[in-house]
Amino acid sequence: MKFRIYRYNPETDAAPRMQNYELNIESGGKMLLDALVLLKEQDDSLSLRKSCREGVCGSDAMNINGRNGLACITPLSSLKEPVELRPLPGLPVIRDLIVDMTQFFKQYHSIKPYLINNDPPPETERLQSPADREHLNGLYECILCGCCTTACPSFWWNPDKFVGPAGLLQAYRFIADTRDQATSERLDDLEDPYRLFRCHTIMNCVDVCPKELNPTEAIGHIKDLMIKRMV
Amino acid sequence: MVNRVIVGAHYGLRDWLVQRVTAVVMALGSLALGIYLLLHPDMGYDRWTGLFASQPVRAFALLFLLSLFYHAWIGIRDIVMDYVKPAAVRLVIHVVVVLALLLYAIWSVQILWGM
């Protein structure tokens, strides 16, 4: 199989380049990450992140043939050759396929991704009815791989001010949680022309999410709640 | 002035909502005009002036144009927010656009009621 992989070491290289690789591998039943591990045996200067190799940790997010995804759950047989691999777009490159996710996590932290509840903690856990718990489905599954946010043009233009789809999905995850008591503050925090309303429903986020979540829908629900609060 | 990332101007929802409402007004107006033109293929000067002689038509035309200007303001502001980074330049562009749109609004009234 033929590969074209983005190579760049900002400390030594003047500019990024694409390097060609060839690998003798039977594509049936194998994932892209399997091929990358073999390529790294061939050329140990090739750098990438990986960990769980089963789509749970979100470490090996990258741009695969122009589309963000996780290498570990992308079947080799689904890819057109030469397979072009680039780092996630819109973030600074540390080396090759490894990007600096600082800005992404800064936005994630800005939405206070934890339960805010001022009642004294009960002896056991804070309970929720099954119906209330149902609302968190499709929200809590996010693994923070960054595929959606780095596919979003609004995040490319305003990474410092726009929360991005991953952060907004998590913002709604806590707004939707009946055990959370900071709904109003959370809405206040997002009622701003940049933090949420840079979203122009481009829906690249929905298109690329490897967990098939829907940040655009969550953003719509936040807008609905803001309207409900206003009128 | 310190260089910090500033967010929190509380007009995100209002402008987003206004943009939707003005879009509906313009869609209805375009549809109404489209139907009228289909029903009257022989539009000449007399028919145009006759149409706009009616006060409700003038009023709705003004509503349509004001919607257009407000909608345009939010759209242009969004583009400027994305692509123009220095706040001072952004402010100047905002002021110029608002003043131009205000002038257009005044001009619209003059045209509609001056016929």
Q: Please report, for chain A, the start and end positions of each structural domain, with discontinuous segments joined by +.
A: 2-99, 102-230
Confidence (pLDDT) at B74: 95
Confidence (pLDDT) at A27: 84
Identify which of A52, A62, A54 has the alpha carbon closest to the alpha carbon of residue A3. Answer: A62
Q: What is the number of structural domains in chain B?
A: 1
Q: Does A158 touch chain B (CB under 8 A)?
A: yes
- B65-85 average pLDDT score: 95
CATH of the domain at B54: 1.20.1300.10
Q: Is B109 within a domain?
A: yes
- B64-81 average pLDDT score: 96
A interface test, pick of B3, B11, B16 with most A CB neighbours within 10 Å = B16
Confidence of residue B8 (pLDDT cuts 50, 70, 90): confident
- Residue A39: both structure tokens together: 């390529």
**Which residues in chain B have Cβ-Cβ distances shorter than 8 Å to A191?**
10, 12-13
Encode chain B in three state secondary structure.
CCCCCCCCCCCHHHHHHHHHHHHHHHHHHHHHHHHHHHHCCCCCHHHHHHHHHCHHHHHHHHHHHHHHHHHHHHHHHHHHHHHCCCHHHHHHHHHHHHHHHHHHHHHHHHHHHHC
Confidence (pLDDT) at B27: 98
* Average pLDDT of every residue of chain A: 96
Residue B99: is its pLDDT beyond 90?
A: yes
Residue A108: is its pLDDT beyond 90?
A: yes
Cβ burial, residue B99 (10 Å; 0-12/13-18/19+): exposed
- Amino acid at the residue B62: L
Q: Does A109 touch chain B (CB under 8 A)?
A: no
The ipTM value here is: 0.85
**Which residues in chain B have Cβ-Cβ distances shorter than 8 Å to A190?**
12
Q: Does A230 touch chain B (CB under 8 A)?
A: yes
Residue A206: is its pLDDT beyond 90?
A: yes
- A201-206 average pLDDT score: 96
Confidence of residue B89 (pLDDT cuts 50, 70, 90): very high
Strand A93-95 to A83-86 pairing: unpaired
Residue B115: is its pLDDT beyond 70?
A: no
- A139-156 average pLDDT score: 97
Confidence (pLDDT) at A19: 97
Q: Does B21 touch chain A (CB under 8 A)?
A: no
Q: Is B5 within a domain?
A: no
Fold topology of A2-99: Ubiquitin-like (UB roll) (3.10.20)
Confidence (pLDDT) at B11: 87
Q: Is B6 within a domain?
A: no
Q: Does B88 touch chain A (CB under 8 A)?
A: no
CB A33 within 8 A of CB A72: yes
Of A193, A198, A226, the CB nearest to B9: A193
CA angle A22-A25-A28, nearest 5°? 135
Q: Does A231 touch chain B (CB under 8 A)?
A: no
Q: Is B84 within a domain?
A: yes
Classify domain A102-230 at the CATH class level.
mainly alpha
Inter-chain Cβ pairs, chain A and chain B, closer than 8 A: 45
Confidence (pLDDT) at B70: 96
B interface test, pick of A197, A199, A202, A230 with most B CB neighbours within 10 Å = A197
Residue A74: is its pLDDT beyond 80?
A: yes
Task: Output the pTM of the full model.
Answer: 0.91
A144 backbone φψ class: left, alpha, beta (φ>0; ψ -120 to 50): left
